[in-house]
Amino acid sequence: MKVAAQQPAPLSGAPGVPRHVAIIMDGNGRWAKARRLPRIAGHKQGVEAVRRVARAARELGIEALTLYAFSSENWRRPETEVRDLMGLLRHFLASELDELISEGVILRVIGDYTKMAPDLVRMIDDAVARTAGNPGPVLVIALNYGSQAEIVAAARTLARDVADGTLAPDAIDEARFAGALATRDLPPLDLMIRTSGEQRLSNFLLWQAAYAELVFVDTLWPDFDGKCLAAALEQYGMRERRFGGL
Ligand code: FPP
């Protein structure tokens, strides 16, 4: 009898596994402060957590992982911290691209990243283009992202189509609106996690979170790992999702 090679079972789509998980990675500064280190040290460890968690998400069979790396409000931070964060992003893209390609990951960016430094924009465009043909899963990085701005942009796109005469106002429904958002070709958001004990959405995926389960954990982002992600998935698995029904 021929014995089939031991292949890891494809987890994607497995019952109880959310298809799309988003994370508000919070607490880098507090992690550093607790160790009397500069804030950049917390962000550096935050990047290590990104690596760990992206890997764990792939192993768990999550189809799309969306990470809030830089909000449109984060420009208000001191110039040095913004510069440090941009440097870490450059480093992440340069050092991680080969692994993302070899793992079949599709890298996507949401948010107006074109407002970032031209060399970073080129790096992002290159990484996105080089991973676009991969089979997936999808790693989405939110950069210069704000959900209200995303919703306004979608409304503007639809308004233009109406003004052009290519769209009837009555044809605008939830599906059409969702189709004008940056997340249009991603699976519906199932689970939103925020680390560090804060309990708010901070202008992240407001439309998409309409029926998402929310999990808030006290762990600071630099300490978050695959086990923490698995624990959040366990909480998600215990929730009864009714989508407004009974
Ligand atoms: C929140 O912690 C974290 C951020 C604003 C930045 C998140 C960025 C990273 C994890 C690194 C870059 C990401 C990638 C994808 C390479 P905070 O500084 O607000 O922490 P605090 O609330 O404790 O001060």
* Residue 238 alpha carbon to ligand 1 centre in Å: 29
Give the structural domain span for 214.
2-237
Catalytic residue among 74, 161, 223, 225: 74
Q: What is the pLDDT of residue 7?
A: 39
- Comparing 174 with 7, which gets the higher pLDDT? 174
* Residue 27 alpha carbon to ligand 1 centre in Å: 7
Q: Is residue 197 part of a domain?
A: yes
Q: Has residue 16 got a pLDDT over 90?
A: no
Beta bridge pairs of residue 66:
22, 140
Q: Has residue 3 got a pLDDT over 60?
A: no
**Cβ(114)–Cβ(121) below 8 Å:** yes
Q: How many domains does the chain have?
A: 1
CATH code of the domain covering residue 106: 3.40.1180.10
* Residue 221 alpha carbon to ligand 1 centre in Å: 8
26 is catalytic: yes
Question: What distance in Å separates the CA atoms of residue 192 and residue 66, rounded to the nearest whole number?
Answer: 9
Nearest CA to ligand 1 atom 16: 89
Q: Is residue 45 part of a domain?
A: yes
Which of 51, 44, 15, 16 lies closest to 28, judged by CA? Answer: 44
Q: In the structure, which protein residues have their CB atom closer than 6 angstroms to any atom of ligand 1?
A: 25-30, 43, 46-47, 50, 67, 69, 74, 88-89, 92, 141, 221
Mutate to test the pocket of ligand 1, among 26, 40, 143 (most ligand atoms within 8 A of CB): 26
Q: Is residue 166 part of a domain?
A: yes
DSSP annotation string for the chain: -PPPP--PPP-TT-TT--SEEEEE---HHHHHHHTT--HHHHHHHHHHHHHHHHHHHHHHT-SEEEEEEEETTGGGS-HHHHHHHHHHHHHHHHHHHHHHHHTTPEEEEES-GGGS-HHHHHHHHHHHHHHTTS---EEEEEEEE-HHHHHHHHHHHHHHHHHHTSS-GGG--HHHHHTTSTTTTSPPP-EEEE-TT----TTSSTTGGGG-EEEE--S-GGG--HHHHHHHHHHHHHS---TT--
Nearest CA to ligand 1 atom 5: 70
pTM for this structure? 0.93
Reported confidence tier of residue 12, pLDDT bands at 50, 70, 90: low
Nearest CA to ligand 1 atom 7: 69
**Nearest atom in ligand 1 to 71's CA:** 5
Torsion, Cα 21 24 25 28, to 10 degrees, reads: -170
Mutate to test the pocket of ligand 1, among 23, 24, 25 (most ligand atoms within 8 A of CB): 25
Reported confidence tier of residue 15, pLDDT bands at 50, 70, 90: low
> What's the pLDDT tens digit per position in 38-71?
999 999 999 999 999 999 999 999 999 999 999 9
Q: Is residue 244 part of a domain?
A: no
Catalytic residue among 26, 28, 144, 190: 26
Q: Is residue 243 part of a domain?
A: no
Q: Is residue 246 part of a domain?
A: no
Q: What is the pLDDT of residue 127?
A: 98
- Comparing 4 with 31, which gets the higher pLDDT? 31
74 is catalytic: yes
Q: Is residue 25 part of a domain?
A: yes
